[in-house]
Structure formats: structure tokens, C-alpha cells
Amino acid sequence: PPISINSPAAMLPVCPHLPRMPIVGLGVWKAPPEVTAQVVYDAIKLGYRHLDCACDYGNEEAVGKALKLLFAEKVCTREELWITSKLWNTYHAREHVLPALQRTLDDLGVEYVDLYLIHFPIALQFVPFEKRYPPEWTDNGNDGIMKFVNVPYRETWEAMEGVHAKGLAKHIGVSNLNVQSVLDVLRYAKVKPACNQIENHLYLTQSKLVDFCHDMEIAVVGFSPLGAASYAPFF
């Protein structure tokens, strides 16, 4: 018989740190804000219980509108969902991590996320919320260019451990890291990354990285598992 998206058989089988994460999730990357709420609402009613979000996607407020309606209609409870979000590059400094997560929580209308990831190992110049949100890769106020800043990844990870300790993120992890970068985090992390989210599909298997993470008991979550229509043609 087919496996339900939310059945125990569809749970992530490898990492003990993520025993509740459904193996199939709905990613809202590149979903236009004007359709995101309806897409999320329909997906949850169909059985999805795993949502992959991010500040940079620019649609967390729309996701929050769908969640509010779903909770009001008792389609599901907050505890039945797995919600992932990600820290954007402009908020890597220690003092910006908590406010960035709080903005995400406010937009989603929830008190915690199940998994919070550092989106990229790239620190960019801070952009205040009131100036531009999300700031994306380049801020219009910075002449449309990326402005790198010297914020060590360790500083960002320690701040991530802080929001984890407060219960605002049940699990914390990384994204877009290679083997060497994961090893570096493991040398100083008090809370080991629960997950490394990477691009992973038939055209980019990254098998050695996947095997390494599994050996370290770090879950691997693959984004764009079927590729993406916006990517360059494979053929």
C-alpha cells in the first residue's frame, strides 16, 4: 500500500536528532507571496506536515496566514507540523540572530520553529528590517552589490546555540556546507548541527558529503530533489 506523507514509515530514517521530521516536505522557495498562502493551505489539507521556509524567500508572512487559518479550522495543530526556517546572510552577527529569528516567528505566527538553519556560510553587511526585508543578496541601498563583512561562522553558530537554548528553535543546523566546513563547526559546537541542507538530486548527488554527514549522525535534507525549472537546462 502507498505510504502516507505523514506516516511513521515516511520519517527521516538516519539522524536521531530529528525523529519527528517527515521525509517529504513542501518547500516554498520561489513561491510568489500572492499564491503562497493558498498553496500551503492546500498542501497541509492533502497531508503535508513539513514546511521548508526561509527569511530570504520573502513569503513567510503568507505562510503564517495559511497556518492561522489551518489552526482555526482544526485541520492540524502546531505540534503536528515540522517547520524549518533559515537565518539570512545579513544577520550573521551575534546580536542580529535572535531578532532575525523573532521576525520569522512573528511572520509565521508561531512560538518556535522545529529547525533553524544558517542559510549560507556567507556574512553580508547588516540591513535593518525597516530599510529592506528581506534584504536578498544585494541591497538597493548598497548600490546593488554584495557587501561582505568579517563575521566568523563560529560567532553565528554560538548565537544559534543561544536561540536553541531559549526554545525558539527546537533544532539548529547548517545549509550549503561542504565536508571541511562541517568538520570546522564540529570542532567548536556545543550543540552539534542536527542537519545539513544541500542541493541534492540525480544530477548533483554529492554522495561523499551525504555519507560523511550520515557518519557524523547529521541528517541531510536535499532541496530541489527533482531539480528546479529555473535552473539551466540539463540537456
Q: Which residues are catalytic?
A: 57
3-state secondary structure the chain: CCCCCCCHHHECCCCCCCCCCECCCEECCCCCHHHHHHHHHHHHHHCCCEEECCHHHCCHHHHHHHHHHHHHCCCCCHHHCEEEEEECHHHCCHHHHHHHHHHHHHHHCCCCEEEEEECCCCCECCCCCCCCCCCCCCCHHHCCCCCECCCCHHHHHHHHHHHHHCCCEEEEEEECCCHHHHHHHHHHCCCCCCEEEEECECCECCHHHHHHHHHCCCEEEEECECECCCCCCCC
